[in-house]
Amino acid sequence: MTTNSIEVIRPFADALREESITNVQVFGGINTAALRDLKTVIDFDSKEVIAPATLYLDVRRSDRNKSLRDADVFVKSSDPEYIAYIEKILDEAVGTALRQSVFGIVPEKVLRRQLRHPFGFTALKTFLSDRYEQPDGIDLPDSVASPDRLIRSIFPFGVPIDAESLESWTLSVGDMRVDVPNPAMQVINYASRSVSGVRPKDEKKVKETAASILTKAPELRDWAMEGPGASQLDLCLLLRSLTPKKEHPDYFRANRRVQTLSELADSEYFMLPDLEVNARRRLVATVAFKANILSFFESNKTLVSLFQKYIESHMGTLVKYK
């Protein structure tokens, strides 16, 4: 049995191409490994990442538990039946060689529930950002509402998603072809994944990934700063103001200062500006508390090891480690 994640994911990539499925992207470690490799070429114009045919990423992490890596797959749909179909294809192709994680666009009813009950369980249990359908019948600030009806949110903050930011690139490894996110979005996804920012164990690889893509394709900085990725980069920069150390690297050299919690409560991306001031500040303080708790947890290697060994696969939507 192969120990190379690239070979494990190959049957899945082949199955998607055989069925002409183009709205599915492979996230996570495989794409990051390709982007960090010194021999990888990034062709901005053709939207292609060309990695060496010898690219290798072991199916097991280097942590103390030698835990399996994830096969993270994003489906650009909110249809549960279609997402289940992609899960079936992945399961048949990958089996138990990698931990499977398939996620899509979250139906609008979930964000609607958060907005209507800002101190309710659905909102309070949210530790990770997601891509949501924009709910109808709820007035959102103009800076949050999306012409493409998609919002990237980690409650109570949200930014509009430019549909172009979700366009796929092709990762080529030898004769394997698989759809992946724009390389700049790979970095943005890591930086906006969690209320606590980039996990300590990911900091080195995200920093190296960002440095690599900006060296090989400088156009990606403009794409992230002023183009389709700009709003989601704004969310990254906002989230770093919630964490205790507030020292997350400025991957795209945006040179924006860290904000106070009071300023966050007045942010243009705060989705409930009509809440009275004290309620807004209390809500932001609650999110900052969650960021502190999660940051403490993620910085403790023993707790992380125990989590990965005994709990991770059973956490559902509460804290998914992608």
Q: What is the pLDDT of residues 37-74, one digit of tens each?
A: 999 999 999 999 999 999 999 999 887 778 899 999 99
User: Does any domain span residue 322?
Assistant: no
3-state SS, 37-93, equals: CCCCEEECCCCEEEECCCCCCECECCCCCCCECEEEEEECCCCHHHHHHHHHHHHHH
Does 309 have pLDDT greater than 60?
no
Name the strand (E) or helix (H) holding 178: strand 176-180
Tell me how crowded residue 12 is: count the other CB atoms within 10 A of its CB: 23
**Cis previous bond, 156, omega within 30:** yes
Tell me how crowded residue 50 is: count the other CB atoms within 10 A of its CB: 16
In the chain, how many domains are there?
1
What pLDDT score was predicted for residue 2?
84
pTM of the model: 0.91
Range of the domain at 272: 5-314
User: Does any domain span residue 321?
Assistant: no
Mean pLDDT across 292-315: 63
- Closest alpha carbon to 35 in 288, 176, 207: 207
3-state SS, 96-127, equals: CCCEEEEECCECHHHHHHHHHCCCCHHHHCCC
Contacts of residue 202, defined as CB under 8 A and 6 or more positions apart, other chains included, come to 190
User: Does any domain span residue 137?
Assistant: yes
Backbone φ and ψ for 188, nearest 5 degrees, come out as: -60, -40
pLDDT digits over 84-134, tens only? 999 999 999 999 999 999 999 999 999 999 999 999 999 999 999 999 999
